[in-house]
Amino acid sequence: MSAFPSVLEGIKDLELGHIKALLRRTSDLKSGQPPRLPLQKSLAVATSFLENSTRTKLSFAMAIKRLGGFHIDFHAESSSLKKGESLEQTLLTLKYQGIDICIIRTNESNLLDQFRNYPPIKIINGGDGINQHPTQALLDLYTLQDHFGGLKKLKGKTVAIVGDCIHSRVTHSLTDLLPQFGIKVLLCGPDFFIPKELPRDVSRVDNLDEAIEQSDAIYLLRVQTERHDKSITDQLKNYQEEWGLTFERFRKQSKVLPVFHPGPANIGIEVESEIVNSEIWMAHKQVQNSVFVRMAIIEAMINNEDHNIGSQYKKIPGDISERLRHS
Ligand code: NCD
């Protein structure tokens, strides 16, 4: 297995071995084992949430604190980014100030691609546009295995992701992740919310009743209105009736399933309050596990012994370098 990546942009940055190790380490940390961090200095993390967040931001903050580190919240709005500085230079500044990892959330998909080969600092994606949200998918996988009694038990299970799949970075990370563990993923929602081309091991069902019938777990999504154009918003009037999850739906299929949600949930739209207030609602467990999964991710990244972070910026062309030395 290669070293843990220094830029975690998406699920595809991780090998299967990394993912399994993260899940194991999450359980260790959850059971109270002490963190394994370099001794020489305390962990320093910058969180830069260029888009709204409650759960992800606070869960990272808790994870850092539980690891014995501290975090600095970096406000893009009041930073030199507003004076025209590039994100790269800003991140390099953080590195030289002694920050180990920067956690970035942005509404720009693939923003972090540019840093993949030459990272100015270690980076964890806290969600970028509609592209990826790897830490959410990993904590979902952890919660699923917890619920079904282990990783091996996930093989052959079916999870239906219901709602605004096309605008959901969580869905894009889940469809990259879950099939690696033998989970079949079904996407379900109005036509304009389902991608035309589906990834491998992912298929589509036409309505919620069918999704319930064929699945072992339901994963609900928020209707992400901030990412829609008006033509879609106009077609959402009957969303709750057609796609909202209720106990009545389960009764119709004579089965009840665990219901996952990344939050924030719009109660009364994609899900009724009776479900949110019942024991089938897994979202609180997801939130609870999120702290330990993120601790494991930070710990793995900090320990990857990548000494090349930011070093490429020191290189200057050979002939100039000679002249500098002799001047
Ligand atoms: C999601 C996100 O921001 O991508 N939530 C989260 O991180 N817990 C989903 C959403 O915004 O609906």
Residue type, 179: P
pLDDT given at position 172:
97
CA within 13 Å, CB half, 107: 8
Q: Whose CA is nearest to atom 12 of ligand 1?
A: 222
Whether 101 and 42 have beta carbons less than 8 Å apart is answered as no
Residues 6+ apart with CB under 8 A from 106: 50, 51, 127, 128, 129
Question: In angstroms, rounded to a whole number, what is the distance separating the alpha carbons of residues 168 and 112?
Answer: 17
d(CA 27, CA 30): 5
* CA 250 / ligand 1 centre spacing (Å): 25
How would you list the strands of the sheet with 259-260, edge to edge? Answer: 202-205, 184-188, 158-162, 217-220, 259-260
DSSP letters, 67-125, are TT-EEEE--GGGSGGGGT--HHHHHHHHHHTT--EEEEEESSTTGGGGGSSS-SSEEEE
CA distances for 272 relative to 55, 147, 240, 241, 302, angstroms: 21, 22, 9, 11, 41
Strand 101-106 and strand 44-49: the pairing is: parallel
Rounded CA gap, 24 and 4, in Å?
15
Which ligand 1 atom is the nearest neighbour of the CA of 55?
8
**The token pair that represents 103 in the structure block:** 């956690």
Q: What is the pLDDT of residue 146?
A: 97
The backbone region for 111, taken as left when phi is positive above 0, alpha when psi lies in -120 to 50, beta otherwise, is alpha
Specify whether the CB–CB gap between 122 and 100 falls below 8 A: yes
Peptide bond into 120 cis (omega under 30): no
80 sits in the region (left: phi over 0; alpha: psi -120 to 50; else beta) called alpha
| DSSP-derived 3-state class of residue 155 | coil
Name the residue of 50, 56, 271 whose CB sits within 8 Å of the most ligand 1 atoms, as the mutation to test its pocket: 56
Supply the pLDDT for residue 84: 77
Structure confidence at residue 179 (pLDDT): 98
DSSP 17-54: HHHHHHHHHHHHHHTTPPP---SSS--EEEEEESS--S
Q: Which of the listed residues 49, 107, 133 should we mutate to test ligand 1's pocket, taking the one with most ligand atoms within 8 A of CB? A: 133
Centre of ligand 1 to C-alpha 56, Å, is 8
Judge whether 176 and 221 are in contact, CB under 8 Å. no
- Which residues does ligand 1 sit against, CB inside 6 Å? 55-56, 127, 133, 136, 169-170, 222, 224, 262-263
pLDDT along the chain (327 residues), means of 10: 96 98 98 91 91 90 96 77 81 94 95 92 96 98 98 98 96 98 97 92 95 98 79 81 97 97 95 98 98 98 92 73 69
Predicted pLDDT at 264? 94
CA angle centred on 265, ends 261 and 268, rounded to 5°: 120
- Domains present along the chain, CATH in parentheses: 7-133+290-309 (3.40.50.1370), 135-285 (3.40.50.1370)
Question: Please, is 52 exposed, middle or buried when counting C-beta atoms within 10 Å of its C-beta (0-12, 13-18, 19+)?
Answer: exposed
Amino acid making up residue 9: E
- For the record, the structure tokens of 138 come out as 């990993």
